[in-house]
Structures are given as C-alpha cells and as structure tokens.
Structure 1
Amino acid sequence: MTATTRRTGLAAAALGCALLLPLTLGGCGLTSGSPMVDDVRPGSIGQGLPLKGADLTVASKNFSENIILGQIMGLAFKAAGAHVLDRTNIQGSIGAREAVKSGGADGMYEYTGTAWITYLGHDTPITDPHAQWQAVVDADAKNGITWLAPAALNNTYALALNQANEKRYGTRTLSDVARLSKSDPAAVTLCVESEFAARNDGLPGMAKRYGMDIPASRIQKMDGGIVYTQVSGGGSCTFGEVFTTDGRIKAMNLFVTQDDKHFFPNYNAAPEINSAAMRKYPAIREVLDPITAKLTNDVARELNARVDVEGQDPHDVARDWLVSEGFIRNG
C-alpha cells in the first residue's frame, strides 16, 4: 500500500463510496458492521455511565493503526454505557470521512494533515501541530464535524536507519543526513516508495528544504514493506522512508531521524465526531480526551506491531491496551 492510499485512500472505489453516501449507506462496507458485545466496565473513564442509552456507531479506515483507534473509541463508548455498532475497516479515507459527515457513523480517529490537505483542499501544511489542529477544527465546523483534542501520535513521514548505521554516522536529524550527503556522498543511499520519490511533499521537497545532494543513482524505489527490511539488514540502503508510527520500527529496532526543519505535514490523530451526535451526547468529550492524551508514537508503534508483526486482532489489541492503562475494566 502506498503512502497516499495508506493515509488518504484516494482510490476510485473510495471516491465512488463518497458519491453514493448522500443517497444510501449501502455498499463500501458501511452496512456491514456488528454490535460490540464486550462485557466491559468503566475504569478511569466512563464513571457513572455518562453514555448510558446512547446508540453510537464508530468507523475507521482500512489500515491497522486506524482500525485499532476505531476499536479503542468503540470500547470506550461501550464502557461508558453506550450501545456501539462497529463499522471500522471502511475502504479509504473518503468513505470513512463521509460516513461521519453524513451521520452514517458518529465518530472515528482522523489525522489533522489528512483533513487539512485532502478534505479541506489546502496545499501548504501548518508547521505548529496545535495550530494545524485548530485550523482544522475551525474549518470543519461548517461541515458538521467536531474535532476533539489531538494526540501526540503523529503518523507522518521520516527517514530511518538501523542502529549500527546511526552509531557509525551520528545522523539524528535530517539536517545531519544533508551534511553527510555532502561530506561522505557514498554513505547516503535511500530506499523509498515510488510515490514518495516523485511527490513535492516527499523526497524532492525534502531534499530541497534540507539541501540534500543525493544523485538518482543512490536512490532505489521499491515497495514500502521491502524498505523496512532493506534498512534493518543494512542491505542496499542506509536510509529508508518510513511512517513514524509503523510497528516495524519497534520490531526491527530502527532509529528514526528527526524532521528538525518541520518539512513534513503534521498527521496528529484526533477524534472527529459528527456534530449532531456531539450535541446529543456531549459526554463523548470527557470519555475520549483522557485516552487520546495517552496516544503517542511509541504507543502506536507497540500496538501496530502487535497487529502487523505478531498477527493479533486489532480489537483484542485495543481492549488489552485500554485495560492495561486502567481506562476500562473487564466485566
């Protein structure tokens, strides 16, 4: 799955789903869903069952991290007393987004950069993460969508390398990579997806912002999954394009360089809630805010690895994490 389809899902099927949504909720996985039947109780959230009697539907896109986040939201609602319908794993961002916007679903975790650039049509990201979130909050209010507080979890692009190469070259930031590309050109080889190699918000823009001097002969294009194995094994590339919350970073013990000039957009995860549902059930905010505050890149890498590396079910991963953090209790 490419960078764009993974995070923004601009496939034709997703677009078709978006066009159909005003007419029907059939198709595109939006009527498939089942009630969450977990026997869960309030822990540190949901005390007093503030959502008792509420009927709420949760959605997500169709990649592991977002499915896990959708399961976290649903289980939190369930522990707070709601009847929850699980409609996670919708194909593409547009289908999931339109489900929430139209009321076919009540909420999901979305990414601020995706909303700002893909849904709201802006070309230039906002550097400060909070300002980016606030701009999305303000712009999306007219679309009937309410954004709650964002997480530190930021699923954006980065370059990573294995620990041995990090110790050898000392490249902790992208500025360090740029300096290395000039002082020791042979040391800098890149493995990237084809799309990242061509996009202005990918390799060309990054190289320009940081003044990297990397000839085409030292750039290899390949499937995203192969990038991780090439970097980990010290194969054909020193550095590879990664997503900052990918579970393989933890599993393969990779070092992620810092985007010290803040070139890449912020993709902080935050709950987006249908505004009508939010007005009807304002307790949604108090249920979700403490959970979102605990979601970091390290947490995401651990949870994603349990699904993508260990093969666990996203629902089980979400429930285990909520219980371990004390947010909910098993019944």
Structure 2
Amino acid sequence: MSLAWRACALVLGLTLVAACGLQSGGVVPLRVGPAGIQRVPELEGVRITVGSKDFTEQNILGYLIEFALSAAGADVRDMTNIQGSNSVRDAQLHGQIDVAYDYTGTGWINYLGNETAAPDEIGQFEAVRDADRTEHGMAWTAMAPMNNTYALVMSARTARETGVRTLSDFAALVGSDPAAAALCVGTEFNARPDGFPGLARRYAIDTTAVRKQIVQDAVVYQATADSKQCRFGSVAATDGRLPALNLVLLQDDRGFFPKYNAALVMRADFADEHPQVATVMSPISRRLTNDTITELNRQVDVDGREPADVARDWMVAEGFVTAR
C-alpha cells in the first residue's frame, strides 16, 4: 500500500466523518483467504465498515479486524486512519463505522466523563462495558491483554544524571530544577483529562514552573532520546520506538494513569445482530500482548514497513489467514 494511497484514505475518512452520513468507506488494501479463520455463513456478504484512529498501533489493529472479517466472508470496508479519538467515536455513534478497537481507559475517562479509573484491567473493562451500553448503546467485547497506557519516559542518560525513577521524582525535579525537567508532550496528551492536566493534579506538579513544549506525538520519542529539546516526554507504553531508542519508563507510583486495554467496540444493535464478529475476533485479541503489539509497532515506526503489511504478515504467521 503506497503512502499516496494512505494520504487519500485519510482525506476520505475525514470527509466522511464530517458529513455525518452513513458511508461505505474504501476497499481493504490487501487480500487474504481463510485459514484458522474459516468462512462464517452468517457473515457472508455482510457489509462491515472498520475504523481506526490515525496512529500506527490503531492502524495495525484496524487492519487485523479487516483481514479477519474478510477471511470470514464479510464485505469489509476500510475507514482506518481517522484523526483523533473523538472523530472515531462520533463516526461509530452515527453509524459510519461498525467496528473498531478502542481503549478501556479512553472509554471510561474521555467518552463517559469519569475522573477516577478502576484499579485493575478487568474491573476497568467491565465498568466501561456496562456503562457505555447503558448510556450510549455501545458494546465492548474481546478485550486484549495489551495495555497501551500513557507514560512519561526519559533517556538512560537522563535517568543517570537526574536520579529520577518515578513520576513523584519528576514532580520534585520540576520544583527544584525546572530546566532539568524540560518536558515534551503530544497535542492530545496535553489536553486530555487522563493526560497532563490530570497528571499535574495527581502529582502536584507546578504547572507555572514546568518547562513544557507541545509537539506532534511522533516528535516526542526522538527528542526525548536526544535529551536536547526535552529531557522527558509523554508516550504510549506499547510504542515500538521505546526499546529501539532505549527510553526508560517512569514508574506511576501514585497509580494515576488508567488501564488502556484494547477491546473491540461496536454499536450494541450491530453486535447483537452479528455476534459472529466477536467470535471471530476473540482469539486474535487474546494473542495481542504488550510484547506482540510493541513488536508490530516497531516494524512500522522503526523499520518503515506499512501497517497493512505488518498486520497481514502477523495474521498469516499466527495461522489465522492466508495471503493472496
């Protein structure tokens, strides 16, 4: 799949979301056939539109859904790479997207407006599953063990020089030596209640003293590794650039960040009409550990491979589908 194709897909996806009408999306970029996933008569020819947000992991997860349901016989349409969590959520609520992977912490905090997260992964999943079905008619199912929580990181050099190990250590450094605690944050992390605003409250970070730069998410990783533009940075904990750049996670010693396990999300009426979707996807979700998704992310962000290729190769290697 070419970069030009992906750019066109993004523009198309944003146009469709803005239109707030039921649209079909684009074609699935690569072909697959049945293997471990066999044809499902109840899904044969059913048109299913798959969505995702506009970052590497989400695109990979979206393609996993597309290849799985294509192998099962559905008429799958591609609306991956939509900008921002709220745009994907609105597209689902308005019926433009039938199924997507989303994160339990995002659902609980951002979509449902809660401030305090559940302390464990199962409890967080069950809370968002029950509340979102009741309040918005959305069904959450097939939770994966992967937990893409937010985190702050630093280079190994910064860790040695500052002695910082925890987020409490970072907060103390902001108070004692703001220049040594220079921070880069992504645009969404800077504004989300489960991002910097909530983090600052929980750890009593002096927001008037902290030297914070708001940058594109992709910039944070290398800038933090270089330790020049910033000494610390906001990241996703399953990003493949973390091990590649030898970045060190700060311990969340006060348990601020919610659990962000990926789970399949559908409108409840769609999920009830097509329960086979969850049946097909559940074995895939069970294999999506932190190590697995971090490696798939690394192949895209470090090796420069296309997300669709990475997703299909993994599905073939795991025996779910065949390549055509």
What range is the shorter-chain TM-score in? 0.7 to 0.9
Distance 1:38 1:14 in 2: 24
Relative distance call for 1:202 and 1:114 in structure 2 (3 A) is closer
Matched residue, 1:39: 32
Question: 1:1-331, aligned counterparts within 5 Å?
Answer: 17=17, 20-21=19-20, 24-25=21-22, 30-35=23-28, 38-43=31-36, 46-47=37-38, 49=40, 52-55=43-46, 56-142=48-134, 143-166=136-159, 171-178=164-171, 185=177, 188-193=180-185, 201-203=194-196, 205-210=198-203, 216=209, 219-224=211-216, 225-330=218-323
Relative distance call for 1:205 and 1:274 in structure 2 (3 A) is closer
* 1:229 Cα offset (Å): 2.1
Q: After the TM superposition, which of the residue ranges 112-121 and 314-323 deviates more from structure 2?
A: 112-121
Distance 1:221 1:53 in 2: 50
Q: Number of matched residues? A: 308
Relative distance call for 1:15 and 1:58 in structure 2 (3 A) is closer
Structure 2 residue ranges without an equivalent (≥5): 1-12
* TM-score normalised according to structure 2 size: 0.79
- CA RMSD in angstroms, aligned pairs only: 3.3
Three-state SS of the structure 1 residue aligned to 2:153 is: strand
1:43-91 per-residue CA deviation (whole Å, 9 max, x = no partner) reads 2xx2464655141221222222212111101111122232322222234
* Letter paired with 1:122: N
The question of whether the paired residues in 1 share the 8 Å contact of 2:190 and 2:214 is answered with no
Three-state SS of the structure 1 residue aligned to 2:81 is: coil
Relative distance call for 1:149 and 1:64 in structure 2 (3 A) is same
Three-state SS of the structure 1 residue aligned to 2:228 is: coil
Three-state SS of the structure 2 residue aligned to 1:259 is: coil
Distance 1:234 1:284 in 2: 45
* 1:247 Cα offset (Å): 2.8
The question of whether the paired residues in 1 share the 8 Å contact of 2:17 and 2:96 is answered with no
* TM-score normalised according to structure 1 size: 0.78
* 1:137 Cα offset (Å): 0.9
Distance 2:97 2:192 in 1: 32
* 1:40 Cα offset (Å): 2.0
The question of whether the paired residues in 2 share the 8 Å contact of 1:188 and 1:214 is answered with no
Structure 1 residue ranges without an equivalent (≥5): 1-12
Percent identity, aligned pairs only?
42
Relative distance call for 1:16 and 1:126 in structure 2 (3 A) is farther
* 1:309 Cα offset (Å): 3.3
Relative distance call for 1:221 and 1:92 in structure 2 (3 A) is closer
Distance 1:164 1:65 in 2: 28
Distance 1:262 1:16 in 2: 38
1:122-167 per-residue CA deviation (whole Å, 9 max, x = no partner) reads 3433333322221211122233321113223233321111234445
* Letter paired with 1:100: Q
Relative distance call for 1:325 and 1:227 in structure 2 (3 A) is same
Distance 1:140 1:74 in 2: 24
* Letter paired with 2:35: P
* 1:203 Cα offset (Å): 4.0
* Letter paired with 2:49: T
Distance 2:151 2:158 in 1: 16
* Letter paired with 2:98: D
* Letter paired with 1:278: A
Relative distance call for 1:200 and 1:118 in structure 2 (3 A) is closer
